Amino acid sequence: MKVRVQTLLERADFGEVIHIDAEMAIPEETDDDRVFPEPVRVKVTLSPTGTGILARGEVAGLARQTCARCLQRCDFPVQIPVLIEYRIASQAPRDSDEDVEDWFLVEGEYIDLLEPIRQHLLVALPMKPLCDEDCAGLERVTQDEEATPDPRMQALAELRKKIEEQEKGG
């Protein structure tokens, strides 16, 4: 989603801002099972910084992820603040020491909101999402088979407990 910011760049001293309130579709990545099944709501205010543009606001929507326990696909609401810095090319450092640049380039008269917002969303998603805090997981299916505890597993559990106690003691 590109936004024309020419007026902000030209009139940086006049306190001008641009308010964005829009729906944005987040395209799927082929190697990522985290998807956004419907467009997310983007509410940001763009303001000039002198070296570029600052986008500040929030994004809300639904993320579809795989539950870490039961492996079901579930939708999770996500609502996060966003703060994105854009720099005009002449203000961007040439040789950055930073491994990861935390700003984006102003492309001529435009900024692109899609990629930075997609990154904000993905970073905010939990690494191990649960469909429900009490999700019983895959155990629910095999529960009957494991009703009687396996003696080998029990011995292992006791051994682990002993080691833990020893580590605590030392």
Interface with Zn ion includes 88 (CB under 5 A)? no
DSSP H helices, 97-138, are 114-124
Residue 9: in which H helix or E strand, if any?
Answer: helix 6-10
Q: Which stretch binds Zn ion (CB under 5 A): 8-16, 20-28, 64-72, 149-157?
A: 64-72
Interface with Zn ion includes 135 (CB under 5 A)? yes
Q: What is the DSSP letter of 14?
A: G
Interface with Zn ion includes 70 (CB under 5 A)? yes
Interface with Zn ion includes 69 (CB under 5 A)? yes
Q: Among residues 8 and 67, whose Cβ is nearest to Zn ion?
A: 67
Q: Which residues contact 56 (CB under 8 A, 6 or more apart)?
A: 44, 45, 47, 82, 83, 84
Q: Which residue in 8, 67, 82, 84 binds Zn ion (CB under 5 A)? A: 67
Q: Which stretch binds Zn ion (CB under 5 A): 5-13, 70-78, 85-93, 145-153?
A: 70-78
Name the amino acid, one letter, at 55: A
Q: Which stretch binds Zn ion (CB under 5 A): 16-24, 94-102, 123-131, 159-167?
A: 123-131
Interface with Zn ion includes 20 (CB under 5 A)? no
Q: Among residues 4 and 140, whose Cβ is nearest to Zn ion?
A: 140
Residue 81: in which H helix or E strand, if any?
Answer: strand 73-87
- Whether the Cβ atoms of residue 1 and residue 22 lie closer than 8 Å to each other: yes
Neighbours of 168 (CB within 10 A): 7
Interface with Zn ion includes 84 (CB under 5 A)? no
- Binding site residues, Zn ion, CB under 5 A: 67, 69-70, 131, 135
